[in-house]
Structure 1
Amino acid sequence: MKYILVGILLLCMLLPLLFFIKMKVLINYSHNGQDDELSLQFRTLGFIKYSVNLPLLAIDDETPSVVYEEKRQSALGEKDIKEKFTLHRFLDDLKHFHRFLKHVVGFHTILRKFMQKMSIDKFLWESEIGTGDAALTGSASGLLWGIKGNTLGVISNYMNWKTKPQISVVPQFQQMLLKTSFECMVSFRIGHAILAGLKVLRHWKKGRTLFKSTDTAGRDINV
């Protein structure tokens, strides 16, 4: 009994500190011809980390689906997961997400306020593009520059930059080619994520009540 009380006391002392601990999320994506790979790494306190690697993607020859392999790494060890992603599953997930948005009143506001507390510590986006035709390659390169510029503009409206973004588009006039690599690190305090999660739960319950009686559940309100 004594040890249980000591454990509860220590937990109560450490819990407030958890709100101020920073979480860093490193996102890496690369596309090289037919090969895609996505990796996510979560770091906190400088040494605790959890990573997910997704070598994307392969088309299943037997069924109309996409096969992806996932590798998870943590202090508990490694775990390999192989799954099929079908159009039916995608539509089903989309329905669940749409239902979720209807029930959570003010979800966009909650997400926007949380993102405003996030910082971008690293942003690198490099691409090479070629179509085999010089004029068309030039046009495609200009379009890609525009997409990247608009993306940075949208991100700037929601998040804080702690570093200068690095973007590049290299046209390859003599060959057909599409390569891109993306690396981004964002950081936020765990407390802000916890508060955002609590707001979502609170407004989920509120939204379910409103959704049963009125059609205002999908409307964004201040939170």
Structure 2
Amino acid sequence: MKLWLLIGALLLAVLILLLSSRIYFHFSLNRTGQDDRIVLKITALFGLVKLNYSLPVLMFEGVKRGLHVRLEESGIAPVRSSKEDESNIDKDDVQEWMEYGKKALRATQGLKRWMTDTLSHLHITKLDWSTNFSLGDAAGTATAAGALWGLKWSLVGWASQRVKLLHRPRLFVVPVFEDDVKFSTEVDCAGSISAGRVLYAGIRLLVRAMRADEGIRQWKELVREIRSRKREKRAALT
């Protein structure tokens, strides 16, 4: 009897330890001229789970073909291996995602409020955003620099109302007074959220879906529809 109590106490202690751990993420974006690179790193459960998402190719191929992307995934996690996913994102894909969002709203009671509550527990520990650019005209570049400053601070102000910024963001706008048109921007963002909070948010999402009219069935149909669409796109590219 004492042995079972000891095992139960140990399992409970491990569970509390895991739920009290934090999920860390690091997002970086770098665009210089026509070269782009987006990287997202996620670390959870004291480093037992590590996921890396890299987007080394982001190229606009015209109105019809849209945006060509190649996503590389790797990391240390259960039943996970390195792989690449290459596809094109056009206006039809954007319309589909908007339709998926509408269906998710209908399938979940209070989805917007759930998302707002979940984001309020996200801690941002670092946010650096630097932009260097030239419009090829000194007057136009100077005017655009002021507008860009205003846009950046407006976006940061909007985000600060939804997540917790633990440190003051570092924003830079550097006008380059040259005759040629140039543009480069770099974003570096890091933060974390409690693993217990993520689990709690998942449970709340499930409960809200169950409260909606046939919410679970609608979510299953939405997932099947998304998977079917992805298979069709991959088959079309091969």
TM over 0.5: yes
Q: Does 1:125 align with 2:129?
A: yes
Cα deviation, residue 152, structure 1: 1.3
**Is contact 2:109–2:211 with CA below 8 Å preserved after alignment?**
yes
Cα deviation, residue 41, structure 1: 0.3
- 2:161 alignment partner, SS class: helix
Find the aligned partners of 2:145 and 2:34 in 1 and give their Cα distance: 20
| Structure 2 unaligned blocks of 5 or more | 1-6, 216-238
Percent identical across equivalent pairs?
Answer: 23
Equivalent position of 2:158 in the other structure: 154
Q: Which amino acid aligns with 1:56?
A: V
Q: Which amino acid aligns with 2:181?
A: M
Which stretch shifts more, 181-190 or 155-164?
155-164
| Structure 1 unaligned blocks of 5 or more | 1-6, 211-223
Equivalent position of 1:54 in the other structure: 55
String of CA shifts for 1:153-211, please: whole Å, max 9, x gaps: 1121112122221110000111311110001011110111111121112112222359x
Q: Which amino acid aligns with 2:192?
A: S
Alignment CA distance shift 1:30-1:93 (3 Å): same
Residues 22-101 of structure 1: matches in 2 within 5 Å? 22-48=22-48, 49-60=50-61, 64-75=65-76, 77-101=81-105
Alignment CA distance shift 1:130-1:117 (3 Å): same
Cα deviation, residue 116, structure 1: 1.6
Q: Does 1:169 align with 2:173?
A: yes
TM-score between both structures, scaled by the size of structure 2: 0.77
- 2:109 alignment partner, SS class: coil
Find the aligned partners of 1:118 and 1:8 in 2 and give their Cα distance: 32
Equivalent position of 2:138 in the other structure: 134
TM-score between both structures, scaled by the size of structure 1: 0.82
Alignment CA distance shift 1:74-1:209 (3 Å): closer
Find the aligned partners of 2:184 and 2:105 in 1 and give their Cα distance: 35
Find the aligned partners of 1:188 and 1:45 in 2 and give their Cα distance: 12
Cα deviation, residue 42, structure 1: 0.2
- 1:173 alignment partner, SS class: coil
- Displacement over 3 Å in runs of 4+: 7-13, 45-48
Residues 15-26 of structure 1: matches in 2 within 5 Å? 15-26=15-26
Cα deviation, residue 54, structure 1: 0.7
Find the aligned partners of 1:15 and 1:64 in 2 and give their Cα distance: 48
Greater percentage in helix? 2
